Structure 1
Amino acid sequence: MATAGNSEDLPTIPILPVNTPFSSDRNISRSPSISSINNFQWTTLLVSKPGQKKGRKQLGRDPVVIERSNLVNISKLVVKELIEQSLRYGRMLDSDHMPLQHFFIVLEHVLRHGLKPKKGLLGPKKELWDILQMVEKYTPEAQDITASVRDLPTVRTHMGRARAWLRLALMQKKLADYLKVLIDHKDEALVEYFEPDALMLSDEAIIIIGLLVGLNVIDCNLCVKEEDLDCPQGVIDFSLYLRSASQVSNDSSNGDETGDAMTTVLDQKNYIEELNRHLNATVTNLQTKVESLTTTNALMKEDLAIAKNNLMALFEENRLLRRQCGREGEGYVMSASGVHVTSADSGKGRGEKGGDAEELRQRLEEERRLRKEADDELEIQMCMKAEMEVAMKLLEKDIHEKQDTIISLRRQLDDIKLINLEMYKKLQGCEASLAHKAEFISKLEAKMQSMTDTIESLEYKYKESESMRLTTEQLKQQVDLQAAHVEEQANSIEGDLKLEREWRKSLQDSMQQDRERISKLQIENGQLKLLAQKYAQLQEDYYTLKDHNMEQDKTLEELGGKLKDSKLQISDLKEEINRNRIDGTWAKDNTVSNCSACSKEFNLTRRRHHCRNCGEIFCNTCSDNTMALPSSAKPVRVCDDCHLLLLGRSTNTVMN
C-alpha cells in the first residue's frame, strides 16, 4: 500500500497532450468544480495506440511502463473513493452507485492490458472470459459462479460473461483471492494470453491485488440479470477524483465525517480481534479434546490388547484341561463368538467318568461365560474405537475449517490495518496542509500590519514637513532683505518638499490600489459563493423542469392520440352530414324519369319509390330496405345509401 503523499499525487499522463492545471506535486481528491478533465475516454487516456509507440521512445521512458503506472494510479484513486463512499453512506452498494461502476470499468482495463490479439484472420481471439474460466481449475470454489455465468440468459458475449463473473466474485468477497490464484499460476495460465509487458505479468499486479483486498470491508448487492453487460462501458468523469491544492483547505469541514469513518473502522477492527480471540479459544479447546481422545484411544487399545491376551490364555488353559481329561475324541470348535462343544459319544463318557465330567462341564460353562463376556467387551471396544475414529475425523475437519477461517480473518484484519494507516496518513497530510495555510495567512497579516505602520510613519513625516514649510515661509517673509542666501536655502527645501510630496503621493496611490484589490477580491469571493448557490438552485430547477417536461411530453402524446381520434370522428361526421340531407325536398313524380341510384328509366314494370329519409326517387331494387326513423313509429322504405348511413349511426350509438 502506498503512502498518503504518494497515493494522492496526480498520475502523469503523457499519452495525451492534455493541458491540465494540476502539477505532479499537488494533492488531489474529489472536487466537482474541475471541468477540464471531464469526459475523458479511457481508451485514449490509459492505453496508447499501437501506432504511437515508436514515436514515444524520445521521452526517456517506456510507454508501456507509463500505461501500467497510469492504470495503477487510477485504480488507487477509484478504490480509495469507493471505500470512502462506502464508509460515509453505508457499506451496502448497488449497481447504480457511480464509484462502483467506475471501479468495474477500471478493473476491466487493468485485466485487458496487454491482451494478445488473434493470430491471422482465422485464428482464435483471446478473450478475458477464457482467462477467468481457468480459475476453477485451481480453485474449485469458483465453479459455482462460473456455472452461474454460463447459464445467464441475458448475457450473450464473452465480454458480458467476464463482467458478470467479476461482479459475482466481488459480491462473494473472493475477487482478490481468485485473481491472486491466476497470478500465482501465471507461468502456465497467463503467458499464452498476455504480452510479456502486460500488467498482469508485471510486479504492479501485486499492488492491484492489495487494492482489491481492501474492498472486502464493503458489501455489494448487484443484480446481474437486469444489467446490460454486453454493451460497451461508459465514460468516467475524472472531476470526481481530482482537485487542485487550493481546495484542500475546504476539507477541514469534513473532519467530523472522517472521525466518524475512523471510529467505524476501529469498531470493525475491535470486533474482528474479539472474534479472532474467540476462534483461538475454540481451537485450543478442540485441540485439548483431540489430545484427550487420543489418550483415551491409546488406553482402550491397551485394554483391548490385554483382553486379547487374557482370551488367548483362557484358550490355552481350556486346551490343557481337555488334554488332562482325555477328551481328545470330542470336537471343539473355537470362533469369535464363543466355544462350541460337540460330542460323538456323550452317553458312553458319562457312564465311564460321571463325576469328572460333571466337574469339567461346570468349568466348561464357566469358561464359556468368561469367553462370552470377553467377546462382548471386545465388540463394545471395537464399536467405541470406530466411533472415536469418526469423531477424530470430524474434529480434524472442524479444526481445518477453523484454521482457514482464522487465516482469512487475519488477512482481513491486516487489510483493515492498512486502510487505517492510509487514512491516518491522509489525515496527517491534511493537518500539515492546514498548518501551512494558517502560517501563510499569519505571514500575510504580519505583512499587512507592517505596511500599515509604514503608512502611519509616512503620514507623520508629511505633517512634520508641512509644519516645516509653514515655518520656512514665515521666516522668508521676515528675512526678505536677506534674499540671497535664504532664497537658495528655500529652493533646496522646496525641492526636498516636492520629493517628499511625490513619495507620499506614490505611497497613497499604492495603498489605494491595495485597498481596491482587497475589496475586489472580497467582492469576487462573495460573487463566487452566490454563483455556487445559484448553480445548486439552477441544478434543482433543471431536474424539476426536466421531470415536468417529461410529464408534459407524455400528456401531449396522449392528447395527440385523442386529437387524432377526434379529427377522424369529425371527418366522419362531416361526411355523414354531406350525405345526409335532412332538409332535402320531397322529389315530385312527374319531374323524375330515371332512378337516382342506378339511372334506369321508369316504366310500367319498374315503378317509382320515395326514400323516406332523403326524399329522392329510386326503383324497387335500389330502395328495397326498411329502417326505423324518428319521424315514423314503424320501419319505412329507405335507399341503399341511407340504409348504410343509418345502420352505421345506430352501430356507433350502441358501441358508445
Structure 2
Amino acid sequence: MMLMMNYAGTGAGNTATEKVQKNPNYLMANERMNLMNMAKLSIKGLIESALNLGRTLDSDYAPLQQFFVVMEHCLKHGLKAKKTFLGQNKSFWGPLELVEKLVPEAAEITASVKDLPGLRTPVGRGRAWLRLALMQKKLSEYMKALINRKDLLSEFYEPNALMMEEEGAIISGLLVGLNVIDANFCMKGEDLDSQVGVIDFSMYLKEGPIAKSSEEDVEKELEVQIGMKQEMEMAMKMLDRDVCEKQEALVALRQQLDDLRALKHELSFKLQSSDLALKQKNELNSRLEEKTNQMAATIKQLEHRLRGAVRDRLDAEEANRLFKQDFGDKIESLQMEVDRLRKQCLHYEKEQKKEAKRRPSGNQIVKEVPENKYSPLRIPHLLQKNMVKAGIQMPSSLQDVYV
C-alpha cells in the first residue's frame, strides 16, 4: 500500500502532479517524506499515550498496533519483488534476517521467530521479529546497524527506497525513544500471517489550531532536515577535500616507504658485506693470535736457552778466572824457568863450540864428553816432565818453541 499525503491545497497538488510528470523519482521522494512524517507521529503518540497509561503494553493496545503497521510500510517501501513459483513476492523478512549477521544479539530473536508455531509466511515472521525486538528494547540499534550496511540492503531494495535514503536513518534515530516503553506480547495464539496492515489516519487527524500547529511543526522539521542536508553536503565536500589531501599524503608516504625499503635493502647488503669482512678479519685475527702465541712460546724457549747460555758463560768465565788465579803464578815461574834454561842452553852451546875449536887434530884421542843433562835436546822433555808432575799442560807458545 503506497501513501500520498499533501498538506497543501489544490494548487500544491497540481504542482506536485507536474513535478511527478517531469521527474519520476519525485513520487518515491514524496512517499518517503510521508512515511517519515507518519513514523514521527506514530512514535510520538505511542510514547505519550504509553507514559500516560503507566503500565506494560500488550498486543491489543491500538497505538502500538498502528506503530507496527507504519513500520511495516516503511520496511516495504521500495522493496524488490522476488520471483517464486506462485508469482512475485515482496517480503521484508529477508532484510531483517541480515541483522543477526551484523549484531550477534539479534540471533536470539531470529531463532525464536523461526521456532514459533503457526507462522507460515515471511510476512508473519517479519511482524513477529519487530515485536520481539521492541520487547528486547533493541529495535533502534538493530535498524541502525541494518541501515548502515547499504551494500547489503541493495540486494533487497531499490536505490531510492526509504531504507536506502536519509529518511531511514532519521526513523532509526526516532526509535531510540521507544526504549522507555515496556511491552509484552504473547504471539503463540496470534495470527500474524493474515493481518491486514492498514494505517488509521483518524488517530492523527486534528482540527482547528491543533492541525495548523502540526502542519507548522512539520514545516519546521522539514526546514531543519533541509538545513541538515545542506550541512551534510558541505561536510561531504570538506570530507572529499580532506580525502584528496589524505590521498596525496598517502602517496607521499608510500614514496617515502619505498625509499626506506630501498635504503633498508642497501643497508642490509652493506651489513652483510661488513659481516663477511668482519668474519674474515676475525679469522685473520685468530690466525695471528695463534702465531703470536707460538712466537711467544718460542721466545720463552729462546729466553730460557739464553739464560742457560748466559749462566754457562758466567760459569766458564768464573772457572777461567779461578784457573788463572790458581795457575797464573805457576805459569809465570815456569816461564821464568824456561827462560833460564834457554839461557843455559845458549851458554852451553857456546862452550861446546869453544871446546870444539880447542880439540887436538890428528890421532889425538879425544875424551868422550858426557852428555849434558841441560842440553837443548833434553830441555823440552825435562820441562814437560816437570809440568806433568805439577798437573799443568804445556802452553802452546812453549810447544812451538821446542818443536
TM bracket, shorter-chain basis: 0.3 to 0.5
TM-score, normalising length from structure 2?
0.46
Output the TM-score relative to the length of structure 1.
0.29
